[in-house]
Amino acid sequence: MAKFTSNTRPNQQQQLIAFLRDKQNLTILTGAGISAGCGIPTYRDEAGNWRRPDPIQHKDFMSQNETRQRYWFRSFSGWPAFASALPSPSHRIIAEMESLKIVKLVVTQNVDRLHQKAGSLNVVDLHGRLDEVICMSCAEFISRQAVQKTLKRLNPFLFEHGNVAPDGDADVPEDAALSMVVPCCSSCGGILKPNVVFFGDTVDKVIVQRIYQQIANGDGLLIIGSSLQVFSGYRFCRRAVQQGKPVASINPGLSRGDDIIDTLIRGNSDELLSPLAHNFY
């Protein structure tokens, strides 16, 4: 077990050290802020306000071919930069904390798989994973990279660039999307959808119950880089508080849970976690 020590006066990092001390069964919940330094922008500003165009709605994706055209047009452009993103120092330190039995479970609202790239083993992708595509009829899984090749074959005019958006798509002129040929499942002809939870969809209840159980069995919840504006993440903060578990949040700006979280640490997680690495050895 890591022993956190410091001789400096109390500050944000000292708050974090105090929270982590003696933890052996910690749950970590991460949001878009932890991946911001990896080149994947966040949905919201520091006040928690939305700064992107309206997100794709699940019902629109499933019912409207034009919505699927726009999605895959943008996604084709943004996917290469999204897929090549590398883990941040925060991702790597969390993986190290897991290996040292400080962290029991990582729950991420992100779909970038950067926790897994960093070496974390016990991860729940709360909102799915963008590197997979699923057929909504036969439930067959296809790699996102394979779909990228199919998109290019069906639409030779498509181009890739590095202006990635939070959900792996990109800002491109959408009027050209109407000429898109949208790929379908090669096995059954069904609708192909990225294996993520779009807005308006719900997280599997089995996943939610697994996280609730870990919070009940654990010794605290650390929230990193999330404004908690989406209920799918906020519920875990609320559950931990209801059960009397210590809760801390590292976030540059405001969050929905600020009035109920015990330890609020305003700042960048890379800057706050990186100096703690030497405490793990």
Domain assignment present for residue 110? The answer is yes
Count of domains for the chain: 1
The DSSP symbol for 190 reads P
Q: Strand 123-125's sheet: what is its strand order?
A: 123-125, 103-108, 26-30, 221-224, 247-251, 263-266
List the catalytic residues: 127
Residue 130 inside a domain? The answer is yes
pLDDT at 4 over 80: no
If residue 123 lies in a helix (H) or strand (E), which one and from where to where? Answer: strand 123-125
pLDDT at 72 over 80: yes
Residue 51 in this model has a pLDDT that exceeds 90 = no
Q: Which tokens hold the place of 185? A: 């499942």
Give the residue-averaged pLDDT of 186-213.
96
Q: Is 149 helix (H, G, I), strand (E, B) or coil?
A: helix
Alpha helices for 114-198 (secondary structure H): 114-118, 144-154
Instruction: Single out the residue of 187, 72, 204, 71 nearest to residue 139, CA to CA.
Output: 187
CATH number at residue 237: 3.40.50.1220
In which band, very low, low, confident or very high, does the pLDDT at 50 lie, cut at 50, 70 and 90? Answer: low
Split at pLDDT 50, 70, 90, the class of 41 is: confident
Q: What is the pLDDT of residues 86-141, one digit of tens each?
A: 999 999 999 999 999 999 999 999 999 999 999 999 999 999 999 999 999 999 99
User: Is 5 part of a structural domain of the chain?
Assistant: no
169-195: pLDDT as tens digits:
555 666 677 889 999 999 999 999 999
94 located within any domain: yes
E strand or H helix that includes residue 234: helix 231-242
In a domain, 153, yes or no: yes
Is residue 6 one of the residues assigned to a domain? Answer: no
Query: The domain containing residue 260 runs over which residues?
Result: 12-280
